[in-house]
Structure 1
Amino acid sequence: MANVGGIDRVLRFIVGVVLILVPFVAPSVQALAGLGSWGWIIGAVGLVMLLTAIFRFCPAYVPFGIKTCARE
């Protein structure tokens, strides 16, 4: 049962990819920004966002009854 759709899905995909790349692309930027080992946590959050975009399901939406997809 999908609860992620349209713009929400596209934004999750884009932000997810960007967050996944943070630990790999910009290690020097991480040091300058003071991220340190937080870069890997940010990457993990990006992975979750990417997976929710791919599967069109966000478990965090369920308790609140949120659906951003078109009504069926």
Structure 2
Amino acid sequence: MDIKNIKFEKNVGGLDRALRAVIGLAMILAAIIDSNAPYAWIYLLGFIPLATAAFQFCGAYKVLGINTCSKP
């Protein structure tokens, strides 16, 4: 498998993208606010939905064949 031939086509759009951004930011904010909780580090997983919203690409969607982008 040649890594140069992998295409990251946009598959996250609209409402899905906005929800991912809000959830990601909320999780990161929770990690900052409650940093002394025993499992506060798990909130840092909020970077995943935030990144998928920013890049408009979700690997799980690619595998499952899901695309929430509006059709041209």
With structure 1 as the length reference, what TM-score do the two structures score? 0.79
Q: How many residues align?
A: 64
Structure 1, gaps ≥5 residues long: 31-35
Structure ranking higher on relative contact order (CA contacts 8 Å, 6+ apart): 1
Q: Does 1:9 align with 2:17?
A: yes
Distance 1:54 1:27 in 2: 25
Identity of aligned pairs, percent?
41
Which structure 1 residue ranges, 4+ long, deviate > 2 Å from structure 2?
A: none
Q: TM-score, normalised by structure 2?
A: 0.79
For 1:58 and 1:49, the matched residues in 2 are separated by: 9
User: Matches of 1:64 and 1:71 in 2, distance apart?
Assistant: 18
- Greater share of residues in helix: 1
For residues 1-72 of structure 1, the aligned pairs below 5 Å read: 1-27=9-35, 30=37, 36=38, 38-43=39-44, 45-72=45-72
- Residues 36-56 of structure 1: CA deviation (Å, up to 9, x unaligned): 1x221221x200110000000
Say which SS state the counterpart of residue 70 (structure 2) adopts: coil
